[in-house]
Amino acid sequence: IKFRRKKKIYSPTAWAFDSSRLINQKRLNEVVNKWIDAKEKRADEKDVQKLGITLMKAFNRNRRSRGTPHIFNLMAATDPKSIDTACLNLCMEAYLLNNRPSKLIEVYRKYQGSVKPNYVTINIILRNFIAMGQLSEAENLLKVVMELRGPVTRHSFQLLMYGVRAITDSLPEMTRVFEWMKTTHLSPHSPIYNTMIKTALDCSQYDLAKKYADEMVEKGLGYNLETFVLFLSTQSKAGDWDAVAKTMQRMKDYNIKLTVKAFNTLLHSYARAADLPLVERFFESMLSFDIVPDRYSYNILIHASCRAKDEEAKHRWLKRMRSAGHLPDVVTFNILFHELRKTKTQPYVLRRIYNAVLDINPDLVNTMTKMMLLDSMFKDSLAYERRANLRRTSPRLDDDIFLPEIKEMESATNAGRPHDAICIFTDILAQGLKPTEFLTTSAVRAAFRLPPPEHDNVSRLLYIAHKRGARINDIVLSILSSESFHSSSPSSSPEQLNTVLQQLHASYSFMSSHCLPINHYIFVKTAWKLATSGDPHGAIFLMNKISTSQWGSKWNVVGLTTLLHAYTLIRDLKGMRWVVETMEAEQEMPDRLFMRYLRRAKEVSESQEDEAFISWLVVRCVKHREALKE
């Protein structure tokens, strides 16, 4: 008896659990592969559809909406019945996020006969018309859908009004759409009234705004916090503080509490327009409305005290800030530091204050503090005027703010006194300032002249400079290497190659002993110089020696390109094949220069067999590059 074997049904438990875990980890490409695998292994259709919808939501949510149409098209190709309203809405939203309005309309027209739209679909199409600037099309869509008694909500009218406000900024147009909405079965709700109130206030139509607010109360909607904030913001900008007090009293009558954020906005506007006693009285009166001030509120009052030059008020508000449980932050320190600058305090005093605060609590100092200190130190010097030029393509020594220190360090190093140069570098680090590239270069050049037992102290200084953002890397060391190591052009003699190798070992020893990052820029540059100067065998010897040393690491595309250049010069096919295989093994992307050297080797090949072999290598590189791009 022949038994008919049933096809194995794919169990949804494992792959669904793994897919949920990968979606939470934002590894969406792996989830796509699992989803395709589940479809091929005949998993349950509902589970596959549910995971597809979850995937599209994840792509849209994680700003990778270009992957949503791919999932949608796969679902439509394999199982057209799985396309429902939710899938269509997610695909249309992805096209809207990708700024492809024509594709959105095309997908909607393709599936409008088989998929019933809901209010989300209508709102997405509305947003698409508004993004295209077609307000008349958006308005006609609402009229047609309402005639057919389709899914139109108040949010649809709200989107239309936002579009009219953003594109035309016309109060008559807003009023026309608002009056049209009142004639429909959808009466305006609070957000739409607030939009009209804001538009009226921006056009200085205070009476019209008050009319809309009273109409809200007549409709039974009542006032809300957003309505009062709109009035308070307009009144505070106009400096009408009597109206602000009346609005606050009305808020108290309606039992609506003001948030701390809105209170800080009002307090900031009041502090800029009124004197300090009035601001303090306003602050005390606001406390009766059960408002709990935060740290930003007290910083506003401290700033107002500094502007009024009232030392007693400044200390009083600092004490009240601490008694309220709020410690001074970086904003507080910057306010006081700026006040010191305005009193024409000497720059060395500001530097001492800056260093003291930096040692006590580094969180009280930020970039603004450093810029204020630098502006005070170099305000009357030529370096300040040159440093004011923004977006300079590359730094210049004449523009360096530590130019006197750099010249002193260079003279000390050239005179055989590297300890003096290191002491100058130590003093600059002790002041808490960020070392510049030229200053760091001078410090490293002086460190080369020190004996090896003293390298530990220099390592600590360079580590501190690296943490403060200084560019201490092998690019700086390559500048030193080009001056002290590679002053003479390399030749093909073994003695010269061994000398260059010893020099490179010395530079790598310096980098490793001083805890500096190593990315093999120096030896690749040296090998390139050897290959272009007519010694490709020396370049290959040098790169192989460094790659097998204790500092060797995996090959990157720059090193492989240099090695391929050397192999093409000596027409070594085995070496070229090894470079291509290493490129594939290390998953490096061959760039244009790499492909150019391969094609050039094909053009100068001596036989047809060599040309065919190099053509095969080119095809392998092209396939490898396409696979990496996918």
Residue 369 confidence (pLDDT)? 83
Residue-wise pLDDT tens digits, 360-399: 888 888 878 877 877 776 654 434 333 433 233 344 554 4
Residue 481 confidence (pLDDT)? 47
8 A C-beta contact, residue 599 and residue 564 = no
* Residues 601-613, mean pLDDT to the nearest whole number: 80
SS3 86: helix
8 A C-beta contact, residue 197 and residue 217 = no
Integer Cα distance of 518 and 511 in angstroms: 7
Residue 299 confidence (pLDDT)? 92
186 Cα distance to chain centroid: 42
Question: What DSSP designation does 294 have?
Answer: -
Percent of the chain with pLDDT over 70: 79
Residue-wise pLDDT tens digits, 208-221: 888 888 888 788 77
8 A C-beta contact, residue 22 and residue 34 = yes
Residue-wise pLDDT tens digits, 403-417: 778 888 888 888 888
Integer Cα distance of 124 and 112 in angstroms: 14
Confidence of residue 317 (pLDDT cuts 50, 70, 90): very high
* Residues 253-262, mean pLDDT to the nearest whole number: 82
**Domain boundary assignment for the chain:** 1-100, 402-518, 520-629
Integer Cα distance of 585 and 572 in angstroms: 20
* Residues 596-612, mean pLDDT to the nearest whole number: 81
Question: What DSSP designation does 304 have?
Answer: H
Confidence of residue 457 (pLDDT cuts 50, 70, 90): low
8 A C-beta contact, residue 301 and residue 263 = no
> 């509490």: which residue's tokens?
257
Mean pLDDT of the chain: 77
Residue-wise pLDDT tens digits, 1-44: 454 444 444 455 566 777 878 888 878 888 888 888 877 776 67
Identity of the residue numbered 146: M
Residue 587 confidence (pLDDT)? 78
Helix boundaries (H) for 67-205: 68-78, 85-97, 101-111, 119-132, 135-147, 154-167, 171-182, 190-202
Contact partners, residue 317, CB within 8 Å, separation at least 6: 298, 301, 302, 305
pLDDT above 60 for 341 = yes
- Token pair, residue 262, equals 């809105």
Integer Cα distance of 1 and 352 in angstroms: 98
Contact partners, residue 272, CB within 8 Å, separation at least 6: none
Residue-wise pLDDT tens digits, 89-138: 999 988 888 778 888 888 888 888 888 888 888 888 888 888 887 888 88
Number of C-beta neighbours around residue 354 at 10 A: 22
Integer Cα distance of 504 and 501 in angstroms: 5
Integer Cα distance of 130 and 126 in angstroms: 6
Residue-wise pLDDT tens digits, 536-571: 887 787 777 766 666 566 677 777 888 888 888 888
